[in-house]
Structure 1
Amino acid sequence: MKFSDIANTYTINVLLKVDYKDVACEESGKNLFSIPLNLFQNVTKLSLKNNKITLEDRDKEILGRYINLTELHLNENNITVLNNNSFYNLKNLTILDISNNCINTVHKAAFAGLNQLSVLNLSYNMIAQLDSDTFSSLESLTVLDLQYNFLKYFHIQSSFKPIKIVLAGNPWICSCDLLDLQIWLTASNVTLENESNTTCTFSNTVEKISIKMAAIQTADCKIEKTSLENTVTSTPAANLRSKLPLVGKSWTFLAGVLGFVLGTTLLIFTAVKCPAWYHYVISYRHHRLEENDTEIFEQEFSADMSPSPSGSGTSNEEPIVIFEKVHACGDEEDGFIEDKYIDIYINEKR
């Protein structure tokens, strides 16, 4: 082998060692409100402890750029919700610490994509409920720390098999809801760390009992489950029976509704028709001729019948009677007004 070949091989090996070298970045206690952008793209260990990061959508987008991360520490921040796909691009991540936050909601697919994750620390948060499929995608998970949350029960998949789990400090309730977890802890080879402090209490007592030793009767839980299923099955029929008597008793309510509808319809009809009636009334405004008005009416009528001074050449023509329409606010009429008082007056003149 030539020296140049040896040199090239050495150079390649050195470059490979540099590429796989851990690149740590310490950004703890800097009062950061979001994940910084100006970090090394090849960073492998990132500590953002003791800041004010909330892990919103923008943080998720920035975090997804650091695809070489193997360790991420977000403990002691202001995270309240872990949304779906919060760490999706971090496929090389093996350690995730998000303890000592205010997390109260963990969505079902919050840890999707973390196929290499080995250690997950969710301790000292405010988690009260977890979906049974939350950790099912974490095939490489060996340590799960859920201590000091608000968990009272935890339905867990039998296929989920970490090596160690920490559950102490939660207000576990010794009930049928805890039976799945108890069976899983007994049947699997998982190590329950701090077992002596992992206790639950029955509803009728304050005595704390080891979560693995609590006497939760399987038979009682089966009876309870069967009765619950029967209740759910009979619910439609029960609802139907409960509604039938109400039909006869609610006639007053139905009558009230019907009266309201009829009254509303009448009001609408009146509001539409009133303007037409109003115009009809004011368009027919007349009064009876008084005795002392007959001479005035005769003079005005004679004056209208007399020929115009400017029309002396046409005296043989019949007089033109002009009727003036007084009220024009109503509908168009034919121009003639019938009045019995005028007819009586004309007959008397004849």
Structure 2
Amino acid sequence: MAPACLLGVCSLLCAWSVVMGHPCALDHQGWADCSGKSLLHVPSSLPSNITGLDLSFNSLVIPIHGTLLMPLPSLRSLNLSSNALLALSPAVFSNLEALRLLDLSSCSIAYLHRDAFKGLGNLHTLLLRNNNLQELEVPSLLPLKALFHLDLQHNALVSLDALNLQLMEAIPQVRLGGNPWVCDCAAHPLQQWLKRRQAVQVTCASPLGLQGQEVAALDFQDLGCQMKRRFPRGVSTVQQITVTHSNTTTPPTGKGGRSWPYLVGFLVAAIGISILIALAAKCKLFHKNFASYRHRPLPETSSIGGSPMEDGSGWDRSSSGPGDSESHRMPGDADLQAEDDDGFIEDNYIQPNEQMQEEEERELHLSI
């Protein structure tokens, strides 16, 4: 009796689905199973209170403009795997604000628009494995602020730039295995990122010499990068250039520490030459100053010419008359010695009272 009742209930549900216009199977937990129904479009008659929707293995067409689904405020899980979506248009999931899991595996996606995940601020898990992604746009992951798990395995990624890797630092779980990673110098940021994520296993696909090896286990020499390295002070410049341009060459050991005596000797020689030059300049200036300040004896007055007193006596003889010969006699040697002792040269000028007496005497002579 019970199996007959169960069969009747299933028949009623199937009939109700046909009448409502969608082939999806609904359960009492709010899950709608529309997998493998060859659907081109999402049924519009789905209940708005469903929490899970499986649309895998269909032939869904992504609209160029607008959203893929009608507003489903309670939808938490959406499975779109194994649909030939190729590309995701902008804001195609913008009306699914409560979505927590989005499965886009095996959809042949080759391009993600920068606004493809707009409106999915509560998304926890994003599955993008088994697609054809060759690069990952940085802005496409910016709206996913609550993302915890990102699966990018088995795509066509050959490298990731530093911006993408920095953005993925906030995502606790990231899967990158199965991509054809090229292990060259451009993979150095990825190598550093993988070393911090020890649980992530990523292997090289090319070149052939590194195929199958883990990227995190390689060093800069294996990647072919020319990186700046710090050398001890004793290593010469030639050795540093050799190590920088040839990653397989290392500075010879045991010889680097012997170059410091040459450096010390060069410094001592340079300082000694500088001191000698300074002393030579000082000596030249000293001789020049000594020659300029050396004292010489002054020439005697007799060697230069006649004494000023002789000139003065001649002037007196020419200017005075015969009556003044006795009053204006020549000064003796004692007078000259006294004048020399004073240090001043006195002018033989006539006092005003003597000049008046001479004029009166002249008038008397003329009158006589």
Choose 42-51 or 127-136, whichever is displaced more: 127-136
Q: Are 1:120 and 2:126 an aligned pair?
A: yes
Partner of 2:140, secondary structure, is coil
| 2:68 and 2:92 in contact (8 A); partners too | no
Choose 152-161 or 26-35, whichever is displaced more: 152-161
Written as runs of structure 1 = structure 2, the 5 A alignment for 1:68-147 is 68-147=74-153
Give the aligned residue type for 2:166: S
Partner of 2:139, secondary structure, is coil
Written as runs of structure 1 = structure 2, the 5 A alignment for 1:17-56 is 22-56=29-63
User: Which of 200, 209, 212 lines up with 1:208 in the alignment?
Assistant: 212
| 2:49 and 2:72 in contact (8 A); partners too | yes
Separation in structure 2 between the aligned mates of residue 108 and residue 139 of structure 1, nearest angstrom: 15
Separation in structure 2 between the aligned mates of residue 88 and residue 178 of structure 1, nearest angstrom: 34
Written as runs of structure 1 = structure 2, the 5 A alignment for 1:262-273 is none
Give the aligned residue type for 1:220: C
| 1:175 and 1:216 in contact (8 A); partners too | no
Partner of 1:279: none
User: Which of 146, 166, 170 lines up with 2:175 in the alignment?
Assistant: 166
Q: Which consecutive residues of structure 1, in runs of 5 or more, have no partner in the other structure?
A: 1-20, 224-350
Structure number with greater Rg is: 2
Give the aligned residue type for 1:181: L
Shift of 1:182: 2.3
Choose 93-102 or 207-216, whichever is displaced more: 207-216
Partner of 1:289: none
Partner of 1:186: 195
Change (3 A) 1:44 1:111: same
Cα shift readout 1:317-346 (whole Å, capped 9, x = no counterpart): xxxxxxxxxxxxxxxxxxxxxxxxxxxxxx
Shift of 1:72: 0.3
Partner of 1:177, secondary structure, is helix
Written as runs of structure 1 = structure 2, the 5 A alignment for 1:223-238 is none
- The TM-score normalised by the length of structure 1 is 0.51
Separation in structure 1 between the aligned mates of residue 226 and residue 124 of structure 2, nearest angstrom: 34
Separation in structure 2 between the aligned mates of residue 209 and residue 82 of structure 1, nearest angstrom: 34
User: Which of 138, 151, 159 lines up with 1:153 in the alignment?
Assistant: 159
Separation in structure 2 between the aligned mates of residue 173 and residue 52 of structure 1, nearest angstrom: 34
| 1:133 and 1:157 in contact (8 A); partners too | no
Separation in structure 2 between the aligned mates of residue 95 and residue 83 of structure 1, nearest angstrom: 19
Change (3 A) 1:140 1:190: farther
Partner of 2:82, secondary structure, is coil
Shift of 1:181: 2.4
Separation in structure 2 between the aligned mates of residue 177 and residue 84 of structure 1, nearest angstrom: 30
Change (3 A) 1:165 1:26: same
| 1:172 and 1:199 in contact (8 A); partners too | yes
Shift of 1:109: 2.0
Give the aligned residue type for 1:99: S
Give the aligned residue type for 2:96: L
Shift of 1:178: 2.2
Change (3 A) 1:202 1:62: closer
Partner of 1:234: none
Shift of 1:221: 6.0
- The TM-score normalised by the length of structure 2 is 0.49
Identity among equivalent positions (%) equals 29
Change (3 A) 1:82 1:100: same
Partner of 1:134, secondary structure, is helix
Separation in structure 2 between the aligned mates of residue 108 and residue 119 of structure 1, nearest angstrom: 18
Change (3 A) 1:28 1:199: same
Cα shift readout 1:192-217 (whole Å, capped 9, x = no counterpart): 2xx2xx21145463532212223245
Partner of 2:225: 220
User: Which of 51, 57, 66 lines up with 2:72 in the alignment?
Assistant: 66
| 1:165 and 1:191 in contact (8 A); partners too | no
Partner of 2:126, secondary structure, is strand
Change (3 A) 1:61 1:137: closer
Separation in structure 2 between the aligned mates of residue 207 and residue 184 of structure 1, nearest angstrom: 20
Shift of 1:104: 0.8
Separation in structure 1 between the aligned mates of residue 69 and residue 60 of structure 2, nearest angstrom: 12
Written as runs of structure 1 = structure 2, the 5 A alignment for 1:8-19 is none
| 2:181 and 2:206 in contact (8 A); partners too | no
CA RMSD for the aligned pairs? Answer: 2.5
